[in-house]
Amino acid sequence: MKPQEVARITCPLNDKTLSLGAIRGAADLIAKVIPPTPQYAWPLLCERAGTEVWVKHENHTPTGAFKVRGGLVLLDQLKREHPELSHANPPGAGGGVITATKGNHGQSIGFAVKRLGVKAVIVVPHGNSVEKNHAMRALGVELIEHGDDFQAAREHAQTLAQQRGLLPIPPFHESLIRGVATYWLEFLSTAPPLDAVYVPIGMGSGICAMAAARKALNLRTKIIGVVSDHAPTYALSFEQGKPVPHPVSTKLADGLACRQPDEQALKIICEHAERIVRVTDDEVAAAMRCYFTDTHNVAEGAGAASLAALLKEKDQLAGKRVGVVLTGGNVDAQVFGKVLTERHPR
């Protein structure tokens, strides 16, 4: 029998724990560690898209990605609820957390545990980003490589949790959503009113956080999800209204490399998303080049996915004010160099 992960969402977009007051409370906690990230309407990017585009720069956090917000909120909660989470406990005696990741979630947990004095084990699949692995180890976590994809790594993390007495952290959790919702609160409160936002979907915390923030602020901004065409499980599940697992083959958008959708995330997405757009690795690479050319920001594959979707649908957006989120800039130098050297038209 697999160990139970920490308590999860009890109902979609809980009006108490994901209320405006709750999100602002999370923002106060995060503000002690991380300042608000900027949002800009870059002239060259607006020209390229043929409309007004606002970019939320979550690549400017201390871990280079949006997920650090959720990690801070969740670990603050767990440290209070589980006093056994302490470096003082010897290995194997209980205490400490474990999770699986492709990189940014793991850095989020690593950043939070380092501040709070909690030990952490992070499981990644073989072939994971070399530089994301280095970044996680630098935060002091124990990094274990196992399996060929995220789902295999997650299942191994469950096994290790039972064997070593560690508390398993899921990649989708109400406190993670509440933390991530703080960047949407910043974005939606600071940028001019947006007609629509494009949001990449990995396990679902980003798009569900947008839904929570929109509801809390009583806005009508349309939410458009974005997945990799080479990891389409959420698109297929959205279309059919039920979980539809699908193999993953993306070579660039590792943050979107989900094989099995989270059922609770899917329920929220089906209720609140306008549609889901699929983008290819080639389209993601083109968007990464656009970010660098037009804004001189580095975007990882998943971080450029929302822009890729916007550019794919640019003919539908004339006269609209649209938001995208550059969710992260943690791309290996070798990969980014290859993307930049590919020939492309302006």
Do both 260 and 183 map to the same domain? yes
* Residue range of the domain that includes 178: 20-66+174-341
Query: Which residue, of 168, 193, 213, is where some domain finishes?
Result: 168
pLDDT of residue 8: 54
Pick the last residue of a domain from 126, 147, 168.
168
- Asked whether residue 140 is assigned to any structural domain, the reply reads yes
Task: Give the pLDDT score at 2.
Answer: 47
The answer to whether residues 55 and 195 belong to one domain is: yes
Tokens of 188: 């939606």
Mean pLDDT score of the chain: 92
290 within domain boundaries: yes
The domain boundary, picked from 119, 147, 168, lies at 168
pLDDT at 330: 97
Do 333 and 189 belong together in one domain? yes
If asked whether residues 57 and 72 sit together in one domain, one would say no
In DSSP terms, 145 is beta-bridged to: 124
Residues 185 and 92 in one domain: no
Same domain, yes or no: 276 and 185: yes
pLDDT at residue number 82:
86
Residues 124, 100 contacting (CB under 8 angstroms): yes
- Asked whether residue 155 falls in the same domain as residue 199, the answer is no
| pLDDT band at residue 7 under the 50/70/90 scheme | low
| Residue 15 domain flag | no
Residue 148 in tokens: 């060929």
The larger pLDDT score, comparing residue 92 to residue 55, is at 55
Position 345 scores a pLDDT of 46
- Domain at 327, CATH number: 3.40.50.1100
Amino acid 15: pLDDT: 76
HEC profile of 218-244? CCCCEEEEEEECCCCHHHHHHHHCCCC
For residues 172 and 262, the answer to whether their CB atoms sit within 8 Å is yes
Task: Please give the Cα distance from 124 to 154 (Å, whole number).
Answer: 8
**If you average pLDDT over residues 86-93, what whole number do you get?**
53
What's the confidence (pLDDT) of residue 12?
67
Of 186, 205, 202, the closest CA to residue 194 belongs to 186
Which residues, at least 6 apart from 84, have a Cβ–Cβ distance to it below 8 Å? 94, 95
Structure tokens at 124: 């990644």
pLDDT tens for each residue of 280-321: 999 999 999 999 999 999 999 999 999 999 999 999 999 999
For residue 200, pLDDT beyond 70 = yes
What was the pLDDT predicted at 95?
73
Whether residue 88 is predicted with pLDDT greater than 80 in this model: the reply is no
Q: What does the pLDDT read at residue 344?
A: 53
What is the pLDDT, as a whole number, of residue 83? 81
Average pLDDT over residues 25-36: 97
**Token digits of residue 173:** 């959790």
Q: State residue 171's pLDDT score.
A: 86
Domain membership flag for residue 3: no
Which one, of 194, 248, 180, 263, lies nearest residue 224 by Cα?
194
Calculate mean pLDDT across residues 184-207: 97
CA–CA separation, 253 and 304 (whole Å):
9
Residue 47 covered by a domain: yes
| Cα–Cα distance measured from residue 207 to residue 264, given in angstroms and rounded to the nearest whole number | 12
Q: Is the pLDDT at 272 greater than 60, yes or no?
A: yes
Kindly state the greatest CA–CA separation across the chain.
60
pLDDT for residue 216 is more than 90: yes
Instruction: Assess if residue 13 is contained within a domain.
Output: no
Residue 289 shares a structural domain with residue 209: yes
Whether 294 is covered by a domain: the verdict is yes
The residue whose two tokens read 């990690």 is: 71
Same domain, 270 and 306: yes
- The answer on 253 and 156 residing in a single domain is no
148-160 burial code (b ≥16 CB/10 A, e <16) = ebbbbbbebbbeb
pTM to 2 decimals? 0.92
**pLDDT beyond 90 at 97:** yes
Both 126 and 197 in a single domain? no
Within a domain: 211: yes
The average pLDDT across 108-118 equals 93
Number of domains, the chain: 2
Q: pLDDT-based confidence at 84, cuts 50/70/90?
A: confident
Place 5 in a pLDDT band, splitting at 50, 70 and 90.
low
Does residue 146 sit in the same domain as residue 178? no
